[in-house]
Chain A
Amino acid sequence: MTRRRMIRSGVTAVAAVSGTAAALRPMLTTGQQRANVAPDGAGADGAPQAPLAPGAVPALFDEVYRGRRIQGFPDAGAEGVAIKVDGKPLQVMRRVDGSWISVANHYQPYTTPLATARAAVDVIGRAELSMTTEHHH
């Protein structure tokens, strides 16, 4: 049991949800924005990005997908990757074949962190992630 993942608590703040109707279904958005960061470090708009702070980990990906900013970072934990949706952590787990499942897709694995993040957005729509987990590393 020592390092078993425990997803815990994450009781949602029962604070008033914003007026934005959260969409659990894939939204019928017109034109999915994808703002990949260019290899030279320039942002999607071509503007140079601020240099990384000392110790900061460069993103594996950083894009806007269906109106949500999704980011992936290398991570020293068992999952090997940390994913964020609009700055909030998307908890993921690693499968033995190298694929990932996330709290948003517990019954469907994806082969890349980017696909895992996009698929989570497909499921949660515009809703905010709320579940927190205890890291075991």
Chain B
Amino acid sequence: MDSESTSGRDGTAKAKADHGGASRRSFLKSTLALGGAGLAGTAGIRAAQAAGDPLITEIQDWNRYLGVGVDAAPYGMPSEFEKDVVRRSVPWLTADATSSVNFTPLHALDGIITPNGLCFERHHGGVAVIPPQDHRLMIHGLVDKPLVFTMEDLQRFPRENRVYFLECAANSGMEWRGAQLNGCQYTHGMVHCVMYTGTPLKHLLNEAGVKTAGKWLLAEGADASTMTRSIPMEKALEDCMVVWKMNGEALRPEQGYPVRLVVPGWEGNMWVKWLRRLEVGDAPWEQREETSKYTDLLADGKARKFTWAMEVKSVITNPSPQAPITHGRGRTVITGLAWSGNGTIKRVDVSIDGGRNWQTARLDGPSLSKAVHRFYHDFDWDGSELYLQSRAMDEQGFVQPTKNELRAARGTNSIYHNNGIQTWYLKADGALENVEVS
């Protein structure tokens, strides 16, 4: 990819006085330039091969001169050539950047683990900055003995390591009415998957001694939104965790440093960051985040509440609108992610003809419950226009529905829990577009 055509993709989209058609044209132009660059590159390599590729026949700088030493980067960053692999936001989605969201660059990643610095962020009052020695976690309510823990206390509980996906309830929410955002980073990037280290929540609850009447738990954050959610006690005891590490290192500030709640398989809103308080009660609290928000309006005007589990879902991450095919026809790798709040993914099917015919893709890498799964579908692209789709099935037998099936059941104003099948329109020049098909 040449830097010219990618520089416009850094998410800092200049406000254009005259956008509309003009910007659409410029986008199409840059997309075509991308495809062109790929072809020119291939041709260039072929020409060079006749006389010998100078990248091989001539000694390169990196082969002659010394690189930097081991002290150059006490905490390393990705290669400078990967500078476009970054979180991006969509400013018009929210009124203010401190109660907003950004997106994981799924199109550029592989495997099942999301690098910490690329995990999407969702805050309701910005990123709280809390010195770990000043953080306290309180358990009270219907318990035998209300307790206060320091971070040091928490780290003396027995530890466990678990890989889980965290998906925002609103992931793909902008697509309920139709194809809107052009790239899986935007349509599906409110998800990440990391290994957490922490202690099962049941240990902390045991320590305080939950009374028989204690059926619900209120989890609260220490940030300026003082985020709160009600969680049924059965889930709290089943597999919730209180964690302080992700992918081996301390939680990132934007992910709740020094401590957050992990609620496997359930909507990201419940994974309270900067966790400071757990109250045990006999009824749900019906907080703002489970009444006004994170309730799903249906076509008849009723709304579902406590829609906790994230349903079976998948998306082809590459190729996709931000990751066009630049190598021309021939051998092609289609890859993507599948996940389900119900457990593991049993199977992923891929269609290249808009859902007329399907082939079962190859799952590769660990298959962990309530974690993302990586799938591949290898085939020869003949250069024709294709309509790429993926369809996941989970271990409970749930099959990912089409968007139209979801709309038939719910209408278009649910905002949350859109797990419908995504279609990418692959054009002859290798560019792709987010579309809906009949």
The reply to whether chain A is a binding partner of chain B is no
Interface of B toward A, CB cutoff 8 Å: none
